């Protein structure tokens, strides 16, 4: 129950604040967005945040100090989760929908691991 409650709340909240809140805001100031899609402006900051999110989840340093790269996780998190959450952030203009979406994905993964 503890892990269920954790996955339903904390990772989504903390990661969305960091990635699609703080980092996206800073990188959007550094790399001014220029591509407009349906009235919403996208740029390199969006691409970088999407990539960083996937790398943080798909690249690990083992106990023997070797990098382990999980390409499936990187592709899944980049193409599906991170991109979707970023689009939710850009079109909604806030972090509520991406946080809820992130928690939903974490809960789905939690239940899949139980099977």
Tokens at residue 22, please?
A: 């703080």
pLDDT given at position 112: 87
pLDDT given at position 1: 85
Positions of the chain with pLDDT under 70 = none
pLDDT given at position 8: 84
Give the contacts of 106 (CB within 8 A, at least 6 positions apart): 7, 8, 11, 12
* Chain centroid, CA 102 distance in Å: 7
| Domain map (residue ranges) of the chain | 2-102
- The pTM of this model reads 0.85
pLDDT given at position 115: 83
Please identify which residue in the block is written with the tokens 């129950």: 1
Nearest Cα to 48, choosing from 80, 72, 82, 14? 82
| Residues 47 and 32: beta-carbon distance below 8 Å | no
Q: In whole angstroms, what is the distance from residue 95 CA to residue 84 CA?
A: 13
């Amino acid at each position: 129950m503890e892990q269920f409650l954790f996955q339903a709340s904390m990772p989504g909240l903390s990661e969305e604040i960091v990635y699609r809140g703080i980092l996206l805001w800073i990188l959007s100031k550094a790399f001014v967005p220029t591509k407009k899609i349906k009235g919403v402006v996208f740029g390199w900051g969006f691409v970088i945040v999407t990539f960083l999110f996937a790398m943080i989840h798909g690249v690990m340093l083992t106990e023997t100090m070797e990098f382990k790269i999980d390409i499936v996780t990187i592709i899944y998190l980049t193409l599906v989760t991170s991109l979707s959450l970023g689009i939710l952030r850009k079109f909604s203009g806030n972090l509520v929908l991406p946080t809820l979406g992130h928690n939903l994905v974490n809960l789905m993964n939690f239940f899949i691991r139980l099977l």
